[in-house]
Amino acid sequence: MSAEPCYRHATTAAAVVCARCDRPICTDCMIQAPVGWQCPECVGQGAKKSRVSPTRRSAVGSTNPTPVVIGLIAINVATFVATGLGKSSRVDRFALQPINIHYFHEYYRLFTAMFLHASIIHIAGNMIALLIVGPAVEAMLGRSRFLALYLIAGLGGSVCSYLLGQATEFGVGASGAIFGVMGAYVVLARRRRVPMGPVVALIAINLAIGFTGNIDYRAHIGGLAVGALVALVYDVAANLRRPWPALALTIGFSAAVLVVLFALVVGITPGHVNLA
């Protein structure tokens, strides 16, 4: 009876099976592990998990400022300065305004609005919240996934404001994206069993404040929902054993969310549904 071939070298007979994945491997693929022999893929995955395990259990308050969070804060502050510290004549040109988005196809407003702020208090509150919660989420998801989540959640907030707000009303602020980051933290903390009470309280307080004064609560709700959903799928993808399915799920789901958001904007006239 012939020996089973190595899964990595089809023409070479296997000597043992990998102690981790039970696939047959030849002598060239055998790597001594703490328990038995493992294949190169399992050894590589084990090393990767060992490197990221301390940060994947990060909680709010236990993580230093991270590169993407610092970069986003810098972009927001630079944009605030460039617009004359929230000068309306400059801000309104790129702010969210549903009627201009739909009838004049100024779709860029859905994106640019999340980097604009109306006052020092406005930007300070948003950036402080991002600095509190963002590093932990970036540590758990990784830089690229965190940045993608931030932008997609921000767009989700813009689309929700577009659908449910007044057609001629201007909207600015990073709060939709930041609510998405907070929603993501709750999902990730729940899955990792790390403390999430302070962030839940922060969400509840800011949602309540959003229903008072001249604050766009619709962007908060949209960003929160989209951020939580995206974080769940990203985390499921990150825990898949093989890298290509994980990458395909991450990119595919991100693209699907963007298509749905764009379809809602193109297909629904502003003011058709109005909760103002």
Of 58, 220, 254, 272, the active-site residue reads: 220
- What pLDDT was estimated at residue 63? 74
Which three-class secondary structure state does DSSP give residue 59? coil
Range of the domain at 240: 72-267
- Report which DSSP code applies to 114: G
Catalytic residue among 62, 175, 254, 272: 175
What pLDDT is attached to residue 272?
A: 64
Residue 29 contacts residue 6 (beta carbons within 8 Å): yes
Is 9 noted as a catalytic residue in this protein? Answer: no
Angle (CA) 5 6 10, round 5°: 65
* DSSP class of 16: E
Residue 17 and residue 105 share a domain: no
Asked if residue 239 is part of any domain, the answer here is yes
121 assigned to some structural domain: yes
Query: Is the same domain home to 127 and 260?
Result: yes
Residue 210 has pLDDT above 90, yes or no: no
Active site residue 105: no
**DSSP single-letter state for residue 40:** H
Q: Assess whether 86 and 19 both reside in one domain.
A: no
The domain tally of the chain equals 2
Q: What is the pLDDT of residue 51?
A: 43
- Are 28 and 106 found together in one domain? no
**Each residue of 234-257: pLDDT tens digit?**
999 988 878 899 999 999 999 999
